[in-house]
């Protein structure tokens, strides 16, 4: 049975204060039963001391000023929170693991996280609801301008970057929010929203995001979205290639790319017309250096446009993607539309397109680790604003790893457990703030020392080793 010790009641001469309690609980260990004394402390502790690394990077980048300029809020009360503090508190909550506004607000119980984030206080759920309720289409466009600011920290590439476009379904089965409509999902026809996303493959950063109603088709607005992506780039970032699946392979999207002089590779549906154009006798197929893969190029009426058909022998490549045709058993077929020059042979066109699948990893991470799956407000523009700020947090996490010299980008869960979620004691002595991270001596402390030195020192080529602390 657990035992309890309670301090004696204070005398009349002593100031009255709440009695501290200590409880003893018993646990089974490898050495037998042991007891642990559980008490309370008045020290200001935080479970997220490693977020100080994040806050320092934002300070170096001048993020507070940029965010404040992008927000639509103009508080008139002298007691109102700075809107930038609310936005930074929300983003900090996302990085700490929150996927709903109520869970961001729950971090108010962490007595030092606001100090670590450099904000006045963590916002409550009602404060966050009012904050996002002020966003409109125009305000969200200004928030997207923060992506351009983030992309200014990327280096230029002589061959340009690759832009991948995709859409996906965000399920909201309660279905009462603005923009939630019945549409096709992987789980069948369900109430959902269907956003568009454009990401740079080499940088693994999101360039553009647009929330759409759930009953919207993939290609609806895709040409305008591509033009917005190309107009959102800073001067040193150039798009050399656009890739997308068959949902984007409409003539309007190709025309938009060609107007800007950008190469593209889009998947094409194997519809009846394309199957009629494709010759299926073996002599029509060109063998490649890859066993089991053969290619065929079809004539097109448009000058400069090509249609390439790839067939993969299932016997040689059992995991091959593509479509089965009943009249040609034993093969999977895939068709690609491109305007790449003839100097790029069909097999290399196919190889360059295959990297597009990596955007699925960005979508999965945004949905499950940055909370986008669960972030949905009643107002459509409020939902989009929540997503845009969460994606801004994603882009800045990529830049943080670049700042630390990480060659292999890791996902937020790894950053969270190895970097952000680090217990610490917060104190203030002689007017100076102190954050003491709970890091044992040895390899872990040396790794943290290298992180802090890299972040606070002048930029150099010395990288911090992978997150193994």
| Average pLDDT, rounded, for the chain | 88
Instruction: Please determine, for residue 191, whether its predicted confidence score (pLDDT) is greater than 60.
Output: yes
Contact 293, 312 (CB under 8 A): yes
Contact 390, 146 (CB under 8 A): no
Check residue 464 and give its pLDDT: 57
Check residue 271 and give its pLDDT: 81
Phi and psi torsions of 293, nearest 5°: -115, 130
Q: What is the mean pLDDT of residues 447-462?
A: 78
Instruction: Please determine, for residue 393, whether its predicted confidence score (pLDDT) is greater than 70.
Output: yes
Instruction: Please determine, for residue 25, whether its predicted confidence score (pLDDT) is greater than 80.
Output: yes
Q: Which of 1-15, 220-234, 354-368 has the lowest mean pLDDT?
A: 1-15
pLDDT-derived band at 11 (thresholds 50, 70, 90) equals: very low
Q: What is the mean pLDDT of residues 420-448?
A: 91
pLDDT single digits (tens) 256-306:
999 999 999 999 988 877 877 787 787 788 999 999 999 999 888 888 899
Check residue 77 and give its pLDDT: 84
Q: What is the mean pLDDT of residues 67-77?
A: 92
Check residue 326 and give its pLDDT: 58
Check residue 466 and give its pLDDT: 57
pLDDT single digits (tens) 220-248:
999 999 999 999 999 999 999 999 998 89
pLDDT-derived band at 142 (thresholds 50, 70, 90) equals: very high
Q: SS3 for the chain, per residue?
A: CCCEEECCCCCCCCCCCCCCEEEEEEEEECCEEEEEEECCCCCEEECCCCHHHHHHHHHHHCHHHHHHHHCCCCCCCCCCCCHHHHHHHHHHHHHHCCCCHHHHHHHHHCCCHHHHHCCCCCCCHHHHHHHHHCCCHHHHHHHHHHHHHHHCCCCCCCCCEEEEEEECCEECCCCCCCCCEEEEECCEEEEEECCEEEEECCCCEEEEEECCECCCCCCCCHHHHHHHHHHCCCCCCCEEEEEECHHHCCHHHHHHHHHCCCEEEEEECCCHHHHHHCCCCHHHCEECCCCCEEEEEECCCCCCCEEEEEEEECCCCCCCCCEEECCEEEEEEEEEEECCCCCCCHHHHHHHHHHHHHHHHHHHHHHHCCCCCCCCCCCHHHHHHHHHHHHHHHHHHHHHHHHCCCCCCCCHHHHHHHHHCCCEEEEEECCEEEEEECCCCCHHHHHHHHHHHHHHCCCCCCCCCCCCC
Instruction: Please determine, for residue 175, whether its predicted confidence score (pLDDT) is greater than 70.
Output: yes
Q: What is the mean pLDDT of residues 453-461?
A: 73
Q: Which domains are delineated in the chain?
A: 4-40 (no CATH), 138-368 (3.90.350.10)
Check residue 223 and give its pLDDT: 95
Instruction: Please determine, for residue 8, whether its predicted confidence score (pLDDT) is greater than 60.
Output: no
Instruction: Please determine, for residue 336, whether its predicted confidence score (pLDDT) is greater than 90.
Output: yes
Instruction: Please determine, for residue 404, whether its predicted confidence score (pLDDT) is greater than 80.
Output: yes
Percent of residues, the chain, with pLDDT higher than 70: 92
Percent of residues, the chain, with pLDDT higher than 90: 65
**Within 10 A of 234 (CB to CB), how many other CB atoms are there?**
15
Check residue 406 and give its pLDDT: 67
pLDDT single digits (tens) 35-62:
888 888 888 899 999 999 999 999 999 9
**Residues, the chain:** 469
Check residue 1 and give its pLDDT: 37
Residue 152, both tokens: 């200014």
Check residue 5 and give its pLDDT: 39
Instruction: Please determine, for residue 467, whether its predicted confidence score (pLDDT) is greater than 60.
Output: no
Residue 286's Cβ-side half-sphere holds a number of Cα atoms within 13 Å equal to 12
pLDDT single digits (tens) 299-329:
888 888 999 999 999 988 988 888 777 577 8
Q: What is the mean pLDDT of residues 125-141?
A: 96
Contact 339, 258 (CB under 8 A): yes
**Alpha-carbon span 180 to 161, nearest angstrom:** 33
Check residue 7 and give its pLDDT: 40
Instruction: Please determine, for residue 13, whether its predicted confidence score (pLDDT) is greater than 70.
Output: no
Instruction: Please determine, for residue 251, whether its predicted confidence score (pLDDT) is greater than 60.
Output: yes
């Amino acid at each position: 049975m657990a035992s309890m010790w309670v301090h004696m009641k204070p005398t009349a001469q002593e100031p009255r204060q709440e009695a501290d309690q200590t409880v003893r609980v018993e646990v089974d260990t490898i050495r037998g039963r042991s007891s642990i004394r559980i008490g309370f402390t008045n020290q200001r502790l935080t479970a997220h001391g490693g977020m100080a690394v994040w806050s320092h990077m934002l300070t170096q980048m001048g993020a507070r000023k940029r965010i404040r300029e992008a927000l639509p809020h103009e508080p008139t009360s002298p007691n109102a929170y700075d809107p930038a503090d609310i936005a930074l508190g929300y983003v900090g909550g996302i990085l700490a693991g929150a996927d709903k506004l109520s869970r961001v607000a729950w971090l108010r119980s962490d007595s030092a996280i606001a100090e670590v984030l450099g904000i006045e206080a963590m916002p409550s759920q009602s404060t966050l609801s009012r904050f996002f309720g002020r966003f409109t289409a125009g305000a969200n466009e200004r928030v997207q301008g923060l992506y351009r600011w983030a992309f200014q920290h990327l280096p230029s590439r002589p061959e340009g970057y690759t832009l991948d476009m995709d859409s996906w379904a965000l399920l909201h089965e309660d279905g009462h929010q603005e923009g939630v409509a019945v549409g096709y999902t992987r789980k069948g026809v369900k109430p959902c929203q269907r956003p568009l996303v454009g990401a740079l493959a080499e940088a693994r950063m999101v360039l553009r995001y647009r929330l759409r109603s759930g009953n919207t088709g993939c290609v609806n607005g895709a040409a305008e979205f591509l033009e917005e992506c190309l107009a959102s780039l800073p001067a040193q970032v150039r798009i050399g290639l656009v890739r997308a699946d068959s949902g984007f392979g409409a003539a309007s999207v190709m025309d938009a790319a060609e107007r800007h002089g950008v190469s593209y590779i889009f998947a094409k549906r194997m519809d009846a017309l394309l199957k009629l154009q494709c010759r299926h006798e073996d002599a029509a197929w060109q063998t490649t250096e890859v066993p089991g893969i053969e290619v065929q190029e079809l004539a097109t009426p448009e000058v400069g446009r090509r249609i390439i058909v790839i067939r993969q022998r299932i016997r040689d490549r059992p995991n091959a993607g593509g479509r089965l045709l009943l009249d040609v058993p034993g093969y999977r077929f895939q068709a690609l539309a491109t305007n790449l020059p003839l100097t790029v042979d069909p097999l290399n066109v196919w190889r360059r397109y295959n990297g597009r699948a990596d955007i699925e990893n960005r979508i999965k991470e945004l949905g499950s680790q940055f909370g986008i799956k669960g972030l949905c407000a009643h107002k459509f523009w409020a939902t989009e604003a929540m997503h845009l700020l969460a994606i801004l947090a994603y882009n800045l996490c990529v830049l943080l790893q670049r700042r630390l010299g990480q060659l292999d980008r890791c996902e937020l869960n790894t950053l969270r457990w190895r970097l952000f979620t680090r217990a610490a004691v917060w104190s203030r002595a002689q007017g100076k703030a102190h954050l003491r991270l709970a890091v044992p001596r040895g390899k872990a402390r040396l790794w943290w020392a290298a992180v802090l030195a890299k972040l606070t020192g002048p930029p150099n080529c010395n990288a911090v080793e992978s997150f193994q602390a």
